[in-house]
Structure 1
């Protein structure tokens, strides 16, 4: 039996979480894929919506074979692709992988709306939305059209990444989407030869943001070659090494997210109102 849709929510989906970042290159898509698998390991039914219209990467990260297309349903519906036990939808499943998305903002927003409204999710506990970096059209479209339960901000310890992460937090708060917490990627570098651990991008940045913005640091992930190689091979860390130290960190973050959304689920879902104010 399908889960009922919330106000501007999605039929078949219980909780919707946006995974976002203020800038690119901080590991947001890698975090999305591994958190989805970590939630699944906790017994949840999980879906992933790749909302990065211009640079979709979930197809590659989750090992979806090139040329895979979603199965059409009825006149304008489609079923998500199943991979690693996850239900997955991405613009990359509609186009050739080498085709650039040379679209203006309204076209990209329209494509996202079609992915959101036409995908027929089946009894999901969690839908993770892999957002594009920044605070533009796609983010506003999502906030207007979908009853998102919360957002996770992904950053690195670098000052410039932290500055952009702050903008991301402020954006979600302006559209009344609660920020569930911060994930700090590349927190430390662990030498593959000697095991020495070093804060090569700075230390404590994620914790400072969490404190300044009254949210939580959900977890810190190290910079390791294995995480990159596993994502590039289509077999993310939580699937490739479920009992490893990194997978345990993702598992702990997943448990925190489950607890947070369940605690706030008693409040009625509402569609955020966007107010544009001239400075």
Structure 2
């Protein structure tokens, strides 16, 4: 009955994309926010679900701090950034952004299920899910709950260093084990392009070949590489979209290209599913 209830609620979701990272500090949440902003420009209905229960950053990064979730007859109403972009995060349920969330697995899982079952998203073209780093209860729960509906796949974020790639290989193995399709890998902090002379420097040199070599070895798509840009951090702190603040920067162009590739994958996946049906 529970699976049927979730299936019914998620029937209105056309595409679901999970964003994973092996380590913290890889700008995973930035990509979630930018996918939603970027896809939203195409007049799609987009929803961003933050299941990083213990470290919710989405409210701050999207300029939604202090916003609250309201209850209606059809469930919880998400907080809207734009008319076509709704957001749900545990951050909206805390009395202060500095409150610590000290929960064991079962309580986290219960909230994730509640987010999927009780939030009235309406008709959605893209549901983007921001997850905590690593592979933990939250990841197992979301994959299990979404299997009641369908999921297009996962986008995995890394940085060029081997210490980050090592954890990403674990993420890829996790996806294979739970039969979660991998849309591709994004390498963040991939060099720094000087705004004055336009020369590129390797701030974090890819000692073992970076994401490119790893993707070749594991037969996974590399969706793109995003150079370091201090403006990304500034935009996040101000709660503004980096794509709007620095639209012509090399990093913004890389992100747009990545978003387009994710969209193309989802469209292709949807067509294949329709053929099977």
Q: TM-score, normalised by structure 2?
A: 0.88
1:72 counterpart residue number: 71
Q: Structure 1, unaligned stretches of length 5 or more?
A: 270-279
2:203 counterpart residue number: 200
Q: Structure 2, unaligned stretches of length 5 or more?
A: none
Q: Which has the higher helix share?
A: 2
Pairwise CA RMSD of aligned residues? 2.0
CA contact (8 A) 2:229 2:251 kept: no
CA contact (8 A) 2:60 2:239 kept: yes
- Secondary structure, in 3 states, of the residue corresponding to 1:265? helix
2:257 counterpart residue number: 252
Q: Distance in 2 between matches of 1:124 and 1:243?
A: 29
With over 3 angstroms needed to count, the CA separation of the structure-2 counterparts of 1:238 and 1:262, relative to structure 1, is: same
Give, in angstroms, the shift of residue 215 of structure 1. Answer: 1.6
1:92 counterpart residue number: 91
Q: Distance in 2 between matches of 1:130 and 1:118?
A: 18
CA contact (8 A) 1:39 1:251 kept: no
2:22 counterpart residue number: 22
Q: Distance in 2 between matches of 1:209 and 1:243?
A: 29
- Secondary structure, in 3 states, of the residue corresponding to 2:10? coil
1:275 counterpart residue number: none
Deviates most, 115-124 or 225-234 = 115-124
Size of the aligned set, in residue pairs, is 263
Q: Distance in 1 between matches of 2:82 and 2:33?
A: 10
1:176 counterpart residue number: 179
1:153 counterpart residue number: 156
2:53 counterpart residue number: 53
1:187 counterpart residue number: 190
CA contact (8 A) 1:184 1:221 kept: yes
Give, in angstroms, the shift of residue 194 of structure 1. Answer: 4.9
Counterpart of 1:217 (choices 215, 222, 244) is 222
CA contact (8 A) 2:49 2:87 kept: yes
Q: Distance in 1 between matches of 2:59 and 2:181?
A: 28
Give, in angstroms, the shift of residue 121 of structure 1. Answer: 1.0
Q: Distance in 2 between matches of 1:8 and 1:159?
A: 42
With over 3 angstroms needed to count, the CA separation of the structure-2 counterparts of 1:172 and 1:25, relative to structure 1, is: same
Deviates most, 45-54 or 202-211 = 202-211
With over 3 angstroms needed to count, the CA separation of the structure-2 counterparts of 1:232 and 1:142, relative to structure 1, is: same
1:242 counterpart residue number: 247
Q: Distance in 1 between matches of 2:10 and 2:205?
A: 40
CA contact (8 A) 2:155 2:182 kept: yes
Give, in angstroms, the shift of residue 236 of structure 1. Answer: 2.2
Give, in angstroms, the shift of residue 267 of structure 1. Answer: 4.4
Q: Distance in 1 between matches of 2:141 and 2:94?
A: 22
What per-residue deviation string (whole Å, max 9, x for no partner) do you get for residues 136-157 of structure 1?
A: 1000001110132100000000
CA contact (8 A) 2:153 2:181 kept: yes
- Secondary structure, in 3 states, of the residue corresponding to 1:89? strand
